[in-house]
Amino acid sequence: MADYSVLIGGKAGDGINRAGQVIAKVFTRLGFYCYIYYDYPSLIRGGHNFSVVRIADHPIGGRRDGIDVLLALDATTLKQHRSSARKDAVVLYNADLIHNAEGTAVSLQSIVTEEGGSPVMANTCIIAAFCKSIGIGWDYVEEILRSEVPHEIEKNLRVARRGYAAVDIEKHPSFLVSEEPVGEKILMTGNEGVALGLVAAGLDGYVAYPMSPSTGILHYIAEIAEEAGITVIQPESEIAAMNMTVGMAYGGFRAATGTAGGGFNLMTEGLSLAAMAELPVTVILAQRVGPSTGTPTYTAQADLHYAIHAGNGEFPRFIFAPGDAAQAYECAGHALRLSWKYQVPSIILTDKTLAESTYTVEPSNLPDSIPAQPMNDRNLEGLYERYIDAEDGVSPYAIPGDIGVTIKVNSKTHNPDGISTDTAEGVARCTEKQMRKLPAMRQEISDLRPVIIYGNPDAEICILCWGSNAQLCREVAGHLGIKAVQPLALWPFPAGEVSDAVGDSWMVISVEDNYTGQLAELARNHGIRVDLHIPKYDGRPHTIDGLMELLWGMVA
C-alpha cells in the first residue's frame, strides 16, 4: 500500500504553500490521494515555513510521522526535519545555502540566477529535481508546470529543466509511480469547500474583514465573485462585517461572513441583533489558538461552547462542524439554506487545520445540488405582520421593495407587527415564538445524517471526534479495528443519533484540540458517557501514528 510523506521547507516568501500544491497536483493526476498540511508562523516574511504533502493510494485526511522525501530550500529546514526523515528517504537540498550535507545537492539560487528568474523559482527547480529522483518523466513534469504555474512559464520551465538535469537518481526504490492518469480527482482546501458550498446554496453576498485562518474564504469568493454574481465587501472591522451582513439579510440577500475567535468576539452583538430581529446570517468561525490573539496561525477546537452560547439572551441557532473539504462544502450549503428557512443565525465551525489544509476530493462525493432556500411564501394582502405568531415560529419574510407592505424589523422585544413592547405578555410571546422553531430545527438536523460512523461499528472501543480530527480518527479506527464517531451537526445537538452511534461501547474516548474536552462535556450533558479524553492544545494537529500510540497506551 503506497503511503508517502514529502516535506518542503523554506522561509516565508519562498512559495512553500504553492510548491506543496504543485507536488500534490503531480500525484493527484496520477490517481493518488493527497493531503497537505501547511505550517507557518505569524510573520509576513522570514520564519520557518513548511508543507507536508502526504500521498497515498487510499483516502487520507491527516499527517503521519516520518518523512520519505525532504526538500530543503534553506538550512533551517534540514536542521529541523532531518531527524524525521526515514533511513531511505530522498533528501534534496539547496547547495547554495547548505554545504556537505547528506543527500543530493542542487544549486537552486545559482540555477535561478543564471536563467534570469526570480528567487521564488527555486521551488520550481527543486520540485523538478524531486520528480527526476523518483522516476517521473520530463514530459509529465512540463505538462503539470504549464497547467499550474500562472506566470513566466517559459522561464520557470528553463529553471525546472536545469533542476531536473542536476539529479542523477533515476528512480528511488520506495516509490511506485505510474505516469498514466487515473480517475478524476480535485484538490480543495477546507476554506474553498466552505466557499463553494455557500455559492451552491445561493449566496448573494460575502462580507468579511481578513482574519486567519478564515481569510482564504474571502480571497476565493472575491476571485469568483463576478462569474458567480456575488457581492464581496471587505469593510473596516469585524463589527462592520457582521452589521453589513445583517443589513444584507434585511434587504433579502443571502449573506455570510467569516472570522476567527477574536473577530467573532466583536460580532456577537450583531449576532444577537440578527437573532432578535429574526434575520438569517451565516458566520464561519475558523478556530485558532486563543484566548485573545493567541497563536494566530495554529489550530485549536476551543470555541465550541462559545459558539453555542455566543450572544446575550437565549435564541435558536444552527452549528455545523465539517471534517474535510467535501464535508465543508455540504455543511456550508446546509447552514446557509437552513438559516434562511428558519430565520435564525447559523455558524460553521472550522479550525486552522481544516481551513488551510488541502484534501483530495472526488467530485462524485459532493452533493449533486444544494438548493437555495426560497423566500417563505408571503401573504402581502392586508396588514403585514413581520413577526406573526406562527405555529412553527417561522413568519412570512417580506423585504424592502415589496409593494403594499410596511416592514418593521426590530432588535427590541416586539409584538407580531414589529412594534416594541415591554409587557409581560408581549415579552413572553416574543420568546416563545422564536423557541417554537426548535422542534422543526432538530428534525432538520436528524434528516441530514448528522452523525457518521467510521471503522468497525461493533467495536468495544469508540473514538468521539469532530472537525479536522474526524478524518484522522477515521484512519486510526481503520488501522486499529475500532470505531470513530463524528457529529457533523453540533447544535441543535443530535443527542439521539450520537447515543445510538456510540452504542454500548466498552470505552468511549474523545479526541479534541482543546484542554477541557468540550465535545465530551456536551455529550455528557446529554446523557452520553465519555470515559477518557485525549487533549491536544499546542496548536499542532495529531499525527496518525502519534494518536495510535496514545490510544494503545490508554486502553492497554
Question: Which helix (H) or strand (E) covers residue 3, if one does?
Answer: strand 3-12
Q: State if pTM tops 0.85.
A: yes
Helix (H, G, I), strand (E, B) or coil at 406: coil
Question: Which helix (H) or strand (E) covers residue 22, if one does?
Answer: helix 16-28
Question: Which helix (H) or strand (E) covers residue 48, if one does?
Answer: strand 46-56
- By C-alpha distance, which of 170, 158, 127, 193 is closest to 332? 193
Is residue 411 within 8 A of residue 276, CB to CB? The reply is yes
Q: What is the pLDDT along the chain (556 residues), one digit of tens a residue?
A: 789 999 999 998 889 999 999 999 999 988 899 999 999 998 877 789 999 999 999 999 999 999 999 999 999 999 999 999 998 899 999 999 999 889 999 999 999 999 999 999 999 999 999 999 988 889 999 999 999 988 899 999 999 999 999 998 655 655 656 555 556 789 999 999 999 999 999 999 999 999 999 999 999 999 999 999 999 999 999 999 999 999 999 999 999 999 999 999 999 999 999 999 999 999 999 999 999 999 999 999 999 999 999 999 999 999 999 999 999 999 999 999 999 999 999 999 999 999 999 999 988 878 777 777 776 555 566 678 899 989 999 998 998 888 778 889 999 999 999 999 999 999 999 999 999 999 999 999 999 999 999 999 999 999 999 999 999 999 999 999 999 999 999 999 999 999 999 999 999 999 999 999 999 999 999 999 999 999 999 999 999 999 999 998 776 6
- For domain 187-365, which CATH number applies: 3.40.718.10, 3.90.550.10, 3.40.710.10, 3.40.50.970? 3.40.50.970
**Number of alpha carbons in the 13 Å side-chain half-sphere of residue 71:** 29
Class for the domain spanning 3-183: alpha beta
| Two domains, one topology: 3-183 and 187-365 | no
Cα R_g (the chain), whole angstroms:
25
Residue 382 DSSP symbol: S
Distance CA(411)–CA(133), nearest Å, equals 64
| Burial class of 400 by CB neighbour count within 10 A (0 to 12, 13 to 18, 19+) | exposed
**Number of alpha carbons in the 13 Å side-chain half-sphere of residue 392:** 12
| Burial class of 383 by CB neighbour count within 10 A (0 to 12, 13 to 18, 19+) | exposed
User: Under CATH, which number does the domain 449-555 receive?
Assistant: 3.40.50.920
Give the domain ranges of the chain. 3-183, 187-365, 449-555
Question: Which strands, in side-by-side order, build the sheet including 451-455?
Answer: 451-455, 483-487, 461-465, 507-512, 532-535
How many CB atoms are closer than 10 A to CB 55? 26
